Amino acid sequence: MKPLHQKIRDDIENQIRSGALKPGDRIPFEHELMAQYSVSRMTVNKALTPLDEGGLIERRKRAGTFVRLPRLDSTVLDIPDIQHEITARGEVYRFELLSYALHKANSDEERELAGSGKVLALTGLHFASAKPLAFERRLINLEAVPQAESVDFTRQSPGHWLLGVVPWTHVENQISAQPAEGQTALHLRLDEGTACLVVDRRTWRGTERITTVRQVFDGGAYRLIASFDQR
Amino acid sequence: MKPLHQKIRDDIENQIRSGALKPGDRIPFEHELMAQYSVSRMTVNKALTPLDEGGLIERRKRAGTFVRLPRLDSTVLDIPDIQHEITARGEVYRFELLSYALHKANSDEERELAGSGKVLALTGLHFASAKPLAFERRLINLEAVPQAESVDFTRQSPGHWLLGVVPWTHVENQISAQPAEGQTALHLRLDEGTACLVVDRRTWRGTERITTVRQVFDGGAYRLIASFDQR
DNA sequence: TTATGAATTATGTATAGACATATTAGGCGA
DNA sequence: TCGCCTAATATGTCTATACATAATTCATAA
């Protein structure tokens, strides 16, 4: 049998991760949870404290307990937000949409993402101070993120938009070095064969896939930084 | 003023991170800590529970509380252990020492590591099934790891040895793509200009620097995998 | 009208006590 | 000697209570 405080914690965490509770929403007061689960305040507190320390919720005296906004800082390599990183170092950021297509999943890669559902396929370029920095090819699972269909990605990059809108629970990055080729080399204004940093990333919310993206960076102009503290 | 339970937790965590308490050592029983800090058992328990959940200690009824062994699995990109990864995928691993030097720190990079103390400078090659996979240049701070002086690195790679011997608390990785050049290209048997994956890593124990390493991988043969769960 | 201060409210920390559970040590009988 | 039962022991969970702290509301006084 699971301890009471852990059941309460899991319930709330699931509501947040599933999206039933959105950032900014208020979680019931401790005395409300006491009544709801028929437990003492110490037990409710023991359930909420780890969620607070884990950064999932925010607690304010007199005001109550609220769902936190997803953390967007991350020097750490969880999900690099290119737009954020470029503006953070004082350069001007711009995203240019190269292609846009909405269709049923019809390749292995697309079916891995969306089963037999619909997929949004985009390509685009990230600019830092008018210089092309990264070429990106992205697939978005429209089952998981239906709102994506009505967003204008000529104005904002899909990665930046997704980070703010969809909470993710799991990411996998594959990082490799590859020579610049064909269209990608042209877009990045690099000679064929120039060393590029390639990041292939897949994200999940729970067991549901959200997006698949390949980003190709000019190897000389960009480096990933991953910083870790031992748990 | 810091809460009591946090002071107790910090004290114990510091003793573990500094090496004063080693893996396997027993931490005082709850009733001993009660007396030592003049607090109730709930407070001691509140101090120890997060250390348990964080994997730093292990608690067994009747037996007591013990310092955990450091986790060495890590699909995650904390500290990739090349030897471990190669053998894990069924290939034969070999390390070849190319150069070995022991001297006082005399470059900026070496002084950043060891101040005015002594440094062990190594270069070597990692082989996967007789094929060179990575070239590595490593500096070890002998103030932090004096035992390194008496280890035979022709037989085992310094990275693998360090992981087992020295507990680290913090790592910073910089990952970039660069063309193969000069000696490095020769050692890896690559043409000049081939895309390589370069990892620059610095590790700390507390505020003390342990090692600095640059690893250059054949971009086509190696990829880093970084997998994350949202906290 | 504005500044001040007191009451209210929700969380933060800590206590003492109680019972539960897992594990081990020791004693007892076959 | 071996197996089994029971004691003892350390951690696990939970309650009821108390006082502290931060933030807000609201009444009161200048």
A101-147 residue pLDDT tens: 999 999 999 999 988 899 999 999 988 888 898 999 999 999 999 89
Q: Check pLDDT > 50 for residue A225.
A: yes
Per the listing, tokens 């965590």 go with: B13
Please name the residues in contact with A117: beta carbons below 8 A apart, sequence gap of 6 or more: A104, A105, A141, A142, A143
- Stretch(es) of chain A classified as CATH 1.10.10.10: 4-67
pLDDT mean over A56-75: 77
The whole-number pLDDT of residue B73 equals: 39
The whole-number pLDDT of residue B22 equals: 85
The whole-number pLDDT of residue A228 equals: 66
Q: Check pLDDT > 80 for residue A217.
A: yes
Q: Check pLDDT > 70 for residue B185.
A: yes
Q: How far apart are CA B40 and CA B33, in angstroms?
A: 9
* Domain A4-67 listed as CATH 1.10.357.140: no
Q: Which residue is nearest to nucleotide D8 (CA to C1')?
A: B62
The answer to whether A137 CB sits below 7 Å from nucleic acid chain D is: no
A82-218: CATH, from 3.40.1410.10, 3.40.630.70, 3.40.50.720, 3.30.160.160 = 3.40.1410.10
A160: helix, strand or coil: helix
> B77 to chain A: which residues are within 8 Å by CB?
77, 173, 226, 228
Nucleotide nearest to B34 (CA to C1'): C15
Residue A74: which pLDDT band, with cuts at 50, 70 and 90? very low
Q: Check pLDDT > 60 for residue A213.
A: yes
Q: Check pLDDT > 50 for residue A17.
A: yes
Q: Which residue is nearest to nucleotide C9 (CA to C1')?
A: A62
Which of A22, A24, A82, A76 has the alpha carbon at shortest distance from A215?
A: A82
The whole-number pLDDT of residue A72 equals: 42
Cβ of A176 and B78 within 8 Å? no
pLDDT above 70 covers a percentage of chain A that reads 90
Alpha helical stretches, state H, A19-150: 30-37, 41-53, 82-88, 108-114
Cβ of B195 and A222 within 8 Å? no
Q: Check pLDDT > 70 for residue B230.
A: no
- Stretch(es) of chain A classified as CATH 3.40.1410.10: 82-218
CA B1 vs CA A45, B8, B37: distances in Å: 21, 13, 16
Q: Phi first, then psi: what are they for A72, rounded to 5°?
A: -115, 0
Give the pLDDT confidence of B87-130 residue by residue, as tens digits.
766 778 889 999 999 999 999 999 999 988 999 999 999 888 88
